[in-house]
Structure 1
Amino acid sequence: MSPHEHASGHHHASHDSADLDWAALASHLEQEAELYAPLHEQAAAWLRELLTDPAGDGPDQVRRVLDIGSGPGVISCVLARAFPAAEVVAVDGSAELLERAQDRAARLGFGERFRTHLADLPDGLDALGGGDVIWSSKALHHLGDQRGAVAALAGHLRPGGLLAVCEGGLPPRCLSRDLGLGRPGLQSRIDAAADEWFSTMREALPGFVHETEDWQAFLADAGLRTPATRSFLLDLPAPLSDGARAFLVAQLSRGAERWADRFDEEDRTALARLTDPEDAAGIGRRPDAFLLAAQTVHTARAL
């Protein structure tokens, strides 16, 4: 289970992102985003607080919200609910994911003020227009120049607008330290494998720039002001729902396949058992399975 990968709807930025097939991952991304919806509802409520102005302006004056790297649109719809007077634009590089976003918005009654924009980041944003709120979650780390990507998004903010970038936090946890199979500490070794993969993925991106990932510095360099950062917790204790268990089985299976060469034989065996739906020790049947994660949102406003 990767700490970097798309928890939260994980959002598509570019078809060059480590050769990930975002359309093929659509159902998994949608399920993940739905699990993380309580976290993003908290984040959206916080954005409303930040936009509350004692002088009289406030979140109800938000007329246009852009979700950059929207994926299947789960968070786009959270934002539509949080900003009921706004047009919401889901922006993504996958037509299949945007179709899911549009269908979701229609089902939830947001269709009249919801639209999509097909564009790879950051080059496809020129025709997008401005926004009062611009949100991007787990998309910018798929771009080689993260500082430049923040500046590109800031350039689309309307005066007084708010840019919110959800990047970082804590790796998701779903495994106890001692599972009763294999060596204790498997979760930590999964995290280490994910970190190694993530660094390799970033270094292979077109235009990769190696620099300190200081998101508040990126926002300041883009000319934005009144920075604020806050982290939000997802706490799904045991026993998990069937849907959450199915998500964890899929996530662990993908990790076990992707990082197989980073594990020893004992860990590969443990992961095979954890992802076996017929094994009583598998994550799909364990009574102690849980999901705990934290995601960080960095914000700043245009002059």
Structure 2
Amino acid sequence: MNDVDWAAMADMMELEGETHSPYVRQAFEELKHLAPRRVLDIGSGPGVAACRLAAVFPQAEVTAVDGEPELLTRAAERAERLGVRLRTRVAEFPEGLAELGPADLVWSGQAMHHVGDQQGALRQLARLLEPDGVLAIVEGGLPTRCLPRDLGFGIPGLEARLDASMADRFNRMRAELPGSVAVTENWPDMLQAAGLTDVRSKTFLVDHPAPLAEGPRQFVRRSLERHREMLGDRLDAEDAVTLERLLDPADPAGVDQRADVFLLTAKTVHFGRRPEH
């Protein structure tokens, strides 16, 4: 999809999937009335959502699809640990979609924004659907919040400033993607333009209150480390110092030790159905 080294991010992606699993479970509740024979998870990464799909639809052929073989190895190992049936398929998104064959349910979690032509990719996803098949994509929601506004040091409102810098970086990433096409990201309208009907969106909460369990706390640490890595010298000098203190494992005010670290976010899922005729 672009030049991100996804295999190198495998640990982080699996941790993110596990931390965000509450929204996935809620979203799949919206789909449990279906009886799909074939399910595709496009851009599956290490398979956290794909394995959940395999558990929700044990009679279906569920396939995790990704462009990185290393991530699909993780997905297969996860399926074996959990005792679910999961197939894997190496395919680039969106270039390799035509080779996948039809499905009754297609899920794609936060992969669309890595594609230059998002509307074109949606049309390709919609063409994978059998008549009356359902497409569900995850895009948008709310920024993640993990820290109190006032940490007791540094300038209050650190996360809001990190969000603004990351938004700038995201815009540049989108503009630099091969074949980038500017589009108003009204996802329901985009799903309708792809030929789908019964389009709707629903937002699901991820709420890990303080004090955090080890997994979500580790995800907070890894996220802040990634912010530091990605933003580099774009950070204000005082915010850079604050971030270093937060990431100091020996500091009682750091994210590893402080009791008021939490994790709150929301993810929006957009659903559409391919007409029978």
Fold match by TM threshold 0.5: yes
The whole-number CA distance in structure 2 between the counterparts of 1:122 and 1:257 is: 28
Name the counterpart of 1:40: 24
Secondary structure (helix, strand or coil) at the match of 1:91 reads: strand
Q: Offset at 1:261? A: 2.2
Among candidates 226, 238, 245, match of residue 217 of structure 2: 245
The whole-number CA distance in structure 2 between the counterparts of 1:249 and 1:106 is: 28
Is 2:154 the partner of 1:182? yes
> What do the CA deviations read for 1:224-268 (whole angstroms, capped 9, x no partner)?
101111000000000001222122111101101211222211000
The whole-number CA distance in structure 2 between the counterparts of 1:253 and 1:198 is: 17
Cα RMSD of the aligned pairs, angstroms, is 0.9
Name the counterpart of 1:208: 180
> What do the CA deviations read for 1:8-52 (whole angstroms, capped 9, x no partner)?
xxxxxx2x2xx321111101110110111121011101122xxx4
The whole-number CA distance in structure 1 between the counterparts of 2:115 and 2:58 is: 31
The whole-number CA distance in structure 2 between the counterparts of 1:173 and 1:47 is: 28
Counterpart of 1:146, as a letter, is Q
Name the counterpart of 1:91: 65
Counterpart of 1:95, as a letter, is P
The whole-number CA distance in structure 2 between the counterparts of 1:141 and 1:47 is: 23
Structure 1's consecutive aligned runs of 4 or more residues displaced over 6 angstroms after TM superposition are none
Name the counterpart of 2:5: 21
Identity score, percent: 52
> TM-score, length-normalised on structure 1?
0.89
Name the counterpart of 1:8: none
> What do the CA deviations read for 1:270-296 (whole angstroms, capped 9, x no partner)?
000111111111111110000000000
> TM-score, length-normalised on structure 2?
0.97
Q: 1:66-85, aligned counterparts within 5 Å?
A: 66-85=40-59
> What do the CA deviations read for 1:186-244 (whole angstroms, capped 9, x no partner)?
01001101101110111110000111101111111111101111000000000001222
What are structure 2's unaligned runs of at least 5 residues? none
Among candidates 72, 77, 93, match of residue 103 of structure 1: 77
Is 2:130 the partner of 1:130? no
The whole-number CA distance in structure 2 between the counterparts of 1:62 and 1:125 is: 19
Secondary structure (helix, strand or coil) at the match of 2:108 reads: strand
Does the aligned pair in 1 maintain the 2:41–2:107 contact within 8 Å? yes
